[in-house]
């Protein structure tokens, strides 16, 4: 078990990459706390937990400072330490700089960027108190390259890469490693919703991936979760401030 005796807090843990990571961490022996706004979805994940670990749910909004502070304190009270933080919560909304409304811009930045800031703000002191740990921030290949009609998302994911570097430098002395993952096309509902939920969305996305991805397919959430596991474990103990790209070769083109 690669995470035996470890505790992990995961934002956006009710679906997609967050869900896959929570279930994998549980199998690897971790005591996992998952955060999302919808309690019933969190409960569904917790019921699927298998292995020697456990999954606890903490409903809340990562963009709300008081809610984040309370969740982190509750998790620490429950498990007495925080070894791993996976800042995974995020949203994707369509729009150019002209068509993106102020509300969409604010919502995107509040969840994708402020959420990373707030959760880290309250976790880092407790993680340092326990002797250190690993923080993984979910950026995207769209923090590295551009894509049309998702300006706010692109901006938010670029910001996460820079937050990662800043945190890595600021907290190396606390024995806290901070890295980001940069996933490409992953089989989650985010891209389907971005397309407007057409009936053939999955087929369209598979064709897009086949046309532009060297590995000619989209990744399963578990394939990303396995990379998060590597960064969370001691196997990556000399890595900090790095971006781990999981994109099937997209950014090599």
In whole angstroms, give the CA distance from residue 154 to residue 54.
34
Rounding to the nearest 10 degrees, give the CA dihedral for residues 182, 46, 75, 22.
Answer: -20
* Residue of 76, 153, 185, 238 with catalytic role: 153
Q: CA gyration radius for the chain?
A: 17
CA distance 231 to 151: 28
The DSSP code sequence of 19-88 is HHHHHHHHHTT-EEEEEES-HHHHHHHHHT--SSSEEEEEE--TT-HHHHHHHHHHHHHHHS---EEEE-
* Residue 64 token pair: 């709300």
Whether 185 is catalytic: no
Angle between helices 151-171 and 115-129 (to 10 degrees): 20
Helix or strand (DSSP H, E) at 169: helix 151-171
Which residues form the catalytic set? 153
């Amino acid at each position: 078990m690669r995470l035996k005796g470890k505790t992990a807090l995961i934002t956006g843990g009710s679906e997609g990459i967050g869900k896959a990571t929570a279930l994998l961490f549980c199998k690897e022996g971790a005591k996992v706390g998952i955060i999302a706004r919808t309690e019933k979805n969190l409960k569904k994940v917790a019921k699927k937990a298998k292995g020697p670990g456990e999954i606890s749910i903490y409903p809340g909004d990562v963009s709300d400072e008081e809610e984040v502070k309370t969740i982190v304190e509750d998790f620490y009270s429950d498990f007495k330490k925080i070894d791993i933080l996976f800042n995974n919560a995020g949203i994707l909304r369509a729009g150019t700089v002209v068509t993106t409304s102020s509300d969409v811009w604010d919502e995107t930045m509040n969840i994708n960027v402020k959420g990373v800031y707030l959760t880290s703000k309250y976790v880092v002191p407790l993680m340092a108190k326990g002797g250190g740990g690993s923080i993984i921030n979910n950026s995207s290949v769209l923090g590295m390259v551009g894509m049309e009609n998702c300006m706010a998302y692109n901006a938010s994911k670029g910001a996460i890469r820079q937050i990662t570097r800043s945190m890595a430098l600021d907290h190396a002395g606390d024995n806290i490693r901070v890295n980001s993952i940069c996933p490409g096309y992953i089989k989650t509902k985010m891209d389907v919703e971005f397309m407007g939920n057409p009936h053939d969305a999955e087929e369209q996305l598979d064709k897009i991936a086949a046309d532009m991805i060297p590995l000619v397919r989209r990744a399963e959430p578990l394939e990303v979760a396995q990379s998060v596991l590597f960064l969370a474990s001691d196997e990556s103990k000399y890595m900090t401030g790095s971006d781990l790209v999981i994109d099937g070769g997209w950014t090599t083109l």
